[in-house]
Structure 1
Amino acid sequence: MEEKKKKNIAFNIIKSDPTDGHGGFGSGALSLDNVSPVIIDVEAGEASIEVGALHARSPVEKGIKFLPNKKDVPNGKPYWLIWVTIDRKEDGPYYAGVTACEMTVDREIRRGYKSLPEHVNRMDKSIKRHIMVDHMDAKSKKVLSDFLKNHDVGMWERSLQQLKDGLQEN
Structure 2
Amino acid sequence: MLKNNKNKGMDLNIISKTNTHGGFGAGMINLSNMSAVIIDGEEAYIDIGALHAKSKIERGIKFLPQKDEVPNGRKCWIVWAAADRNENGPYYAGLTACEMLVDPEARRGWKILADHVNKMDAAMKRRYMLDELNDQEKATLRHMLEQHNVEMWANSPEELKNALT
- Kindly report which structure 2 residues correspond to 1:152-163, keeping only aligned pairs within 5 A, or say none: 152-163=149-160
Question: 1:35 deviation in Å?
Answer: 0.3
CA RMSD of aligned residues (A): 1.4
Identity of aligned residues (%): 53
CA positional deviation for 1:69: 1.3
Is 1:38 paired with 2:57? Answer: no
Partner of 2:84: 87
Structure with more strand by fraction: 2
Query: SS where residue 50 of structure 2 aligns?
Result: helix
| TM-score, length basis structure 2 | 0.85
Number of paired residues? 150
- Is the Cα–Cα contact under 8 Å of residues 84 and 95 in structure 1 kept in the other structure? yes
SS of equivalent to 1:108: coil
Q: 5+ unaligned residues in a row in structure 2: which ranges?
A: 1-15
Deviates most, 26-35 or 75-84: 26-35
Aligned equivalents of 1:128 and 1:30: distance in 2?
12
**Which runs of 5 or more structure 1 residues have no equivalent in the other structure?**
1-15
Equivalent in 62, 66, 69 of residue 63 of structure 2: 66
Alignment-derived partner of residue 18 in structure 2: 18
The answer to whether residue 117 in structure 2 is matched with residue 120 in structure 1 is: yes
Report the 3-state secondary structure (helix = DSSP H, G, I; strand = E; otherwise coil) of the residue aligned with 2:137.
helix
Superposed structure 1 runs of 4+ greater than 6 Å apart: none
Letter in 1 for 2:150: V
Whichever residue aligns with residue 31 of structure 1, its letter is: N
Residue 137 of structure 1 deviates from its aligned partner by: 1.0
Provide TM-score, normalisation by structure 1: 0.83
CA distance in 2, matches of 1:84, 1:109: 29
